[in-house]
Chains A and B, each alone.
Chain A
Amino acid sequence: MDTARHRLGSMEAEFIRSLSADGPYSSGSDLRGMRATSQLLRAKRVRTMARAWPELAGVLGNGLAERATDVLAGTPLPPGDHAVQDGLIVARHLEAAGPIPDSLRLRMLGVRLRYRRKRGLLVQRLRPALGFAYLRQSGRLICALRVSGLPLMSISIRVRSPPGVTAADVV
């Protein structure tokens, strides 16, 4: 049975590898079905991520699917909560490319407070976590504490006036 398991594991791994990379497909493969399934898997991955990260749609709008597909290409689907991990990859990509909206930065802070990295993967934190984020648009520094089982606690400090707002407008 060990041999049978090993053989099945190899076959199924090759199947996933081919689908994820959109080929090459082993000889005798159902090419039409493999290609259609590759597309389906990519679209589903992005759709699942978009649902978990509505803030990304706010940044990329209709271009979300195309951009996310590009960014995630070549990154294997992570185990566990892959929608959160994929969204974080795309969010970091956007952050590196230029300013991102406060809503996305806040969401990234929320993810950092809920998850920690373990062997390259996100795993849920069991211990309390403290985090900070500077929100450029509103000119605020957010300090947040997450303790499992309690509502998120946060304070917001105005560091500077938001663009377009004069000191006289700030109360």
Chain B
Amino acid sequence: MTLPLGLGIGWRPELALAIERREALGFVEVTAENIRLDDIPPALTRMVAQGVPVIVHGLSLSLGGAEQPDTRRLDHLIRVAQRLGARLVSEHLAFVRAEGMEAGHLLPVPRTREALEVIVENVAWAKRMLPFPLALENIATLVEWPGAAMDEASFLAELLSRTDTALLFDVSNMYANARNGGWDPAVALGRLPLGRLAYVHVAGGTVRGDLYHDTHAHAVGPGPLALLEELCSRIAPPGVMLERDDDFPRESELEAELEAIRMAIARGAARRVGNRN
């Protein structure tokens, strides 16, 4: 099992103490929009000083939007990454605003050839501005645009290939979309360019009505863990991290979640080795 980054966690102020106490943490991911450059949390500064690798994650570039990404937001992402010594930044294949209206949420892009051309141009432009490699993440969505020209994995694969961009694969997002859309995530996994994989997100969710919601507020369930195992049976991910954004658990529960993720990685790795022999 090769994990140069190892097992990581999304840094949140509510988890700062638990994260700081944890030994052998592979890396942390920091959300750029939650960081003020004139007021960086001391706990985060201490982690950087201790040499814990940091990945800076953006939420608001709207790379899937019709407008070219906002230079102020891009500049903030770059400055946060520089201050925290990050060597990789990540964003989403999504849009969050259009014609001056904010959604306040990552929304799916229409998967048409015409939209793809625009998004390729946006990502290429952002990459030219960024002094760091960029990884793009698949999002969870409860809604699909009508008239998609290709499936989610193929659309993302073509975008990454044409812009030479790395993949941040969120297994929980794909699990949620597959469950709600009635398709097989293992098949979609085969369409993703796993050779571009930079790292992996895992998070918990819950079922409300007949839909699975990727809440980041519940423990990681068997569905996302099974997909993580499936991924790890095909490739050794460079890094895997837990995302938790609400209903923050006690330290022991957090440890149990990380352990469950570690076990899924190990099971997948064992299958991979078994398949080779």
Contacts and interface: CB of A to CB of B under 8 A. Distances in A.
Contacts, number: 99
Contacts of B107: 12, 15-16, 19, 37
Q: How large is the interface on B (under 10, 10 to 19, 20 to 34, 35 or more residues)?
A: 20 to 34
A166 interface: no
Nearest to B117: A4
Interface residues of A, number: 37
Contact of B118 (A5, A17, A30, A47): A5
Interface in A56-90: 76-79, 82
Contacts of B105: 37, 40-41, 44
Interface stretch (B47-55, B95-103, B165-173, B219-227): B95-103
B67 A41 contact: no
B38 A149 contact: yes
Which has the most chain A C-beta neighbours within 10 Å: B65, B101, B144?
A: B101
Interface string B82-126: 000000000000010111111111010110001101100100000
B99 A10 contact: yes
Contacts of A48: 104
Contacts of A82: 102, 104
B163 to A, nearest CB: 15
B98 A16 contact: yes
B118 A8 contact: yes
Interface string B228-265: 00000000000000000010000000000000000000
A149 to B, nearest CB: 7
Which has the most chain B C-beta neighbours within 10 Å: A16, A34, A76?
A: A16
A163 interface: no
A32 B143 CA distance: 8
- Enumerate the 9 nearest inter-chain pairs by beta-carbon distance, A residue then B residue, closest first: A33-B143, A9-B66, A12-B98, A13-B99, A28-B146, A13-B98, A8-B66, A36-B142, A77-B102
19 contacts: A4-B114, A4-B117, A5-B67, A6-B66, A8-B110, A9-B65, A12-B65, A20-B101, A20-B103, A29-B146, A30-B143, A32-B211, A33-B143, A33-B180, A37-B107, A37-B143, A40-B105, A79-B97, A82-B102
Interface of A: 1, 4-13, 15-17, 19-20, 28-30, 32-34, 36-37, 40-41, 44-45, 47-48, 76-79, 82, 148-149
